[in-house]
Structure formats: structure tokens, C-alpha cells
Amino acid sequence: MARKLAVIGAGLMGSGIAQVSAQAGWDVVLRDVTDEALTRGTDGIKASYEKFVSKGKLAAEDAEAALGRITTTTDLDAVADADIVVEAVFEKLEVKHEIFRTLDKLVREDAVLASNTSAIPITKIAAVTERPERVVGAHFFSPVPMMQLCELVRGYKTSDETLARTREFAESVGKTCIVVNRDVAGFVTTRLISALVVEAAKLHESGVATAEDIDIACKLGFGHAMGPLATADLTGVDILLHATENIYTESQDEKFAPPELMRRMVDAGDIGRKSGQGFYKH
């Protein structure tokens, strides 16, 4: 199997995907629009490798070799010889459309175009390309080096070969895959966490129970590693609000209608760990 990967977007997700792929032996080109974003991304990768080395989970020479397999660029043309391209930019359809339109003109005919989207239907993203059969969802989880799951999403026209090659790639970088056979907004995982977070936020908003007690119920009652409201703080209340709104718009299913509390928190900037305040103080 050819081993050339291009990752579009050097944020938390993109740099994480680049990190695990380089460690698994892939040659990776990491692209973002500014040198600052690329420096932030590669600094994060270095720090993560160093942490693995200090814990004895990765040999220093392997970390160095993996870093050597990552090149960075602000030039989208650098994707031209990639076997697989993974897009990991902001969750906005217009932004993704712009990238996929350009990728369609730049990449090899046999390249796989994957999106790391967590909620936008793959069919919508693929529609702006001349090769919808080669577009697929490859939804990794944050933090990518720690989380074992990759959710593969079949768009309306995704071919079996595209799905198989994407699975091969995800498994080669150490992930376990689930397949979403019907391209519904939010797929499997985002629908499940969104429904849980929305209900937890409604229970909290209406004074039924505290955030802490709701999370304890999920941890001790259902064996969840982390409660839904703590998860919202970790992911970002703004990100989850955006995801639930996407799913609600597509499905018109009331269980995904985000409660007013989440909207007000986002308005106020209380978006979780990254702002120091969400459902909890951090």
C-alpha cells in the first residue's frame, strides 16, 4: 500500500492525525493557511511525542524518525501526489466546499478524499467534486493519539474500494473502525453524544439535578469514562452546539434541539475548558 498522506488543517485534529500517521510510517504533508498555524501544530506534535518518549511508550529515535516524515506547507498544491487526503478544517460546509473543489482539481485521479467532519453529511461535501465515489468520511476522535476509534462514513456515492482503502489507512495508524452505512447528519457517534448532552443540559437547566450529579449518574450508572457535561466542556460547548444545530436542521428531530442554556453559555463565552468556564469552572 502506498504511504503518502496529506492533511489539510493543522489544528488539534489535523496535527493529531498527522502525528499518528507519521508514527505509523506514512509520509505526511501537513497544510494550513498560515505559518503560525503550522508552527502551533508541529509544536503540539513534538510535545506529544516527547511525552510518549518520557513515559517509555515510544523510543526517542522513533519519535525523531516520525517527525522527519512530516513536512509542512501553506501551499495546497503539495497534495498533488498524495494517496489519501484528510481534510480537518472548521465545521462549516462552505469552508469544506471550497477546499474539496480545489482538491478535486489538484489530486491524482485515484486519490481518496476523506473528511474528518463529525456531523456534516459526506454526500453534501462530495457534491462539489467530479469524483463523489472517492469521497468518504474518516471521523477521528480527540485527542487523536489517545482515542482508538475512527468512524468511517459512506456518502451516497462512496465506492466500496474507497471505503476499503480508508479503513486500511485508519487501521494502519492503529485505529479501530466502525462503518456508517447511511449518510445521516451526525453519523453514529455525534448523534449519540448530542442527544445525551442536550438531555443532560435540559435536566441541568430546569433544576432537576446539578451538572456534577448528572455526570456522576452517567459514570457510575452507565460506566461512561466521562459524563456528558464534562465531555461538553472538554469538546467545547460551542462545537457541540454547532453539531446539534446541524443535526437538528437536517433531521428536524426535536431531541437534537439545543436548550437555551447552551446558546446563552456560548453567547457569554462560557464554552468549557478552553475559556476556563463551561458547565464547570476550570
Average pLDDT over residues 77-97: 95
Return the pLDDT at 34: 96
**Full set of structural domains in the chain with CATH:** 4-180 (3.40.50.720), 189-274 (1.10.1040.10)
Average pLDDT over residues 87-99: 94
Ramachandran bin of 54, using left for φ above 0, alpha for ψ from -120 to 50, beta for the remaining angles: alpha
Return the pLDDT at 91: 86
Return the pLDDT at 142: 85
96-110 in b/e form (b: 16+ CB < 10 A) is beebbeebbebbeee
Binding positions are 48, 55, 118
Percentage of the chain beyond pLDDT 90 is 94
C-beta atoms surrounding 192 within 10 Å = 11
Binding positions for CoA are 48, 55, 118
Strands 135-140 and 149-154: antiparallel
- pTM value surpassing 0.95: no
pLDDT(66) > 90: yes
pLDDT(120) > 80: yes
pLDDT(2) > 60: no
Give the pLDDT confidence of 217-274 residue by residue, as tens digits.
999 999 999 999 999 999 899 999 998 998 999 899 999 999 999 999 999 999 999 9
Estimate to the nearest angstrom the gap between the alpha carbon of 219 and the chain centroid: 24
Average pLDDT over residues 116-128: 94
What confidence category does residue 119 fall into, taking pLDDT thresholds of 50, 70 and 90?
confident
Percentage of the chain beyond pLDDT 70 is 99
Peptide bond into 143 cis (omega under 30): yes
Average pLDDT value for the chain: 96
More confident residue, 133 or 90: 133
Which are the contacts of 264, defined by CB distance < 8 A and separation ≥ 6? none
Return the pLDDT at 278: 97
Average pLDDT over residues 212-221: 98
Return the pLDDT at 49: 97
Grid coordinates of 97: 466546499
Give the pLDDT confidence of 124-153 residue by residue, as tens digits.
999 999 999 999 999 999 889 999 999 999
